[in-house]
Structure 1
Amino acid sequence: VTEESEEQTVTTAPYSHSIDTGTSLPTVTYDFRRSPAEQEAIKKEVELMLKKGVIVPSNSEWCSPVVLIKKPDGTFRFCVDYRKLNKVTVKDKFPLPLISDLLEKFEGYKYFTTCDLKSGFWQLPLNKTDGSAKKTAFQACGSLYEWVSMPYGCVNGPSSFSRLMSIVMKDLPNAVFFCDDACIFSKT
């Protein structure tokens, strides 16, 4: 669980995320024209992510565009469109837990504590030695940035995060996880 803060995000994971694209050439999709409101939303999000230390300026050959999804309250959700990168990424088959298996573990237990791991993917660092960060580059505010931690939208994100959570929670028999949600359960 991480707090809602503008402070730097700390990644201390026992595992790092890699983006294996084999021998594929870099994929490039340039940014789109934006309204002033969209430009401002992107600028604020980029400033926040720089402050948190989850992105850094880049000189990558790879480039994916930012997309903004309008929320019901009129604000925007910042996303990067990694469809081209995902097409050339070797798929990780690490399994997500089955909901039916998780529910079965709860039988006979009375107390449940749930935790939503805020910005959970950002807690998982990108592999620093294999060029994965360069592949996450995106264009915004007239500059190019790349991720230091795992971004949302990469095809293998859920598998990598599931692998991380399996490592972290392997010795906790009364705890389960699904994506970035954890549940601790007990009889008393």
Structure 2
Amino acid sequence: MTIQDKPLKQVTPAQKEQFKRHIDALLKLGVIRKSNSRHRTRAMMVSSGTSVDPVTGKEIRGKERMVFDYRTLNENTNKDQYSLPGINTIIQKIGNAKIYSKFDLKSGFHQVAMEEASIPWTAFITPEGLYEWLVMPFGLKNAPAVFQKKWIIVLAYIQNLLQFTLTTSLSFPRIRKIMQSI
């Protein structure tokens, strides 16, 4: 099976520059590499929304980000049935704790390396060329379940980690363990 979505739509020079900035940053971080995969999905640039400046009345564009249309790949992926904990489970688990430590992982899924055999399936096309992910990208069907299972030592909820104990003497060794694993 080959996952091959439609080619890129025509992009403006400004959009091409946005793609270049994102690709250069991801290459520098070492989270993507050039690809020759026979699979590909289309990358798109989106803005996180717009707002209006109350003083000037001008529209302000939100943060730009690159997103990927993994619908075809996801439709052909077996669902990992691992589920995120419900709020009642979380409250029951942490209810008696006295000390809480919260960590927010930047780009949480990017903390998880892709298995080598799965990397070609993540290939995406941009005006800069074809690339593939070395870490888990956002948008994959099983990304939440995989991420959740990786953080079993703490109560993880997507990219927020909450560590809880009854005493500081128990808390500090656990925090150290979390920091060493990040």
C-alpha distance in 2 between matches for 1:78 and 1:96:
26
Q: Residue in 2 aligned with 1:177?
A: 156
Following TM superposition, by how much is the alpha carbon of 1:113 offset from its aligned partner in structure 2, in angstroms?
1.7
Contact 2:8-2:125 at 8 Å conserved across structures: yes
Contact 2:47-2:65 at 8 Å conserved across structures: yes
Give me the TM-score of the superposition, normalised by structure 2.
Answer: 0.79
Following TM superposition, by how much is the alpha carbon of 1:163 offset from its aligned partner in structure 2, in angstroms?
1.4
C-alpha distance in 2 between matches for 1:83 and 1:69:
17
Corresponding position: 1:125 with 2:113: yes
Contact 2:40-2:121 at 8 Å conserved across structures: yes
C-alpha distance in 2 between matches for 1:70 and 1:40:
15
Identity among equivalent positions (%) equals: 31
Contact 1:111-1:185 at 8 Å conserved across structures: yes
Q: Residue in 2 aligned with 1:108?
A: 96
The one-letter code matched in structure 2 to 1:106 is I
C-alpha distance in 2 between matches for 1:150 and 1:43:
21
Question: What is the count of residue pairs matched by the alignment?
Answer: 156
Task: Kindly provide the CA deviation profile for residues 112-163 of structure 1, in whole angstroms up to 9, marking residues without a partner as x.
Answer: 22111111211111111x2x11111111124100011111101110011111
Following TM superposition, by how much is the alpha carbon of 1:39 offset from its aligned partner in structure 2, in angstroms?
1.7
C-alpha distance in 2 between matches for 1:156 and 1:105:
25
Q: Residue in 1 aligned with 2:131?
A: 145
Following TM superposition, by how much is the alpha carbon of 1:110 offset from its aligned partner in structure 2, in angstroms?
3.3
Equivalent in 24, 39, 42 of residue 65 of structure 1? 42
RMSD, matched Cα: 1.6
Equivalent in 61, 80, 89 of residue 92 of structure 1? 80
The one-letter code matched in structure 2 to 1:104 is Q
Contact 1:28-1:64 at 8 Å conserved across structures: yes
Higher-Rg structure is 2
| SS of residue matched to 2:45 | strand
C-alpha distance in 2 between matches for 1:142 and 1:44:
10
C-alpha distance in 1 between matches for 2:46 and 2:35:
24
Q: Which runs of 5+ in 2 are unaligned?
A: 51-59, 168-182
- RCO higher in 1 or 2 (8 Å CA, sep ≥ 6)? 1
Aligned ranges 1:71-82 → 2 under 5 Å: 71=48, 72=50, 73-74=60-61, 75-82=63-70
Equivalent in 1, 20, 29 of residue 6 of structure 2? 29
Q: Higher helix proportion, which one?
A: 2
Contact 2:33-2:133 at 8 Å conserved across structures: yes
C-alpha distance in 2 between matches for 1:142 and 1:176:
39
Following TM superposition, by how much is the alpha carbon of 1:103 offset from its aligned partner in structure 2, in angstroms?
1.4
Following TM superposition, by how much is the alpha carbon of 1:32 offset from its aligned partner in structure 2, in angstroms?
1.6
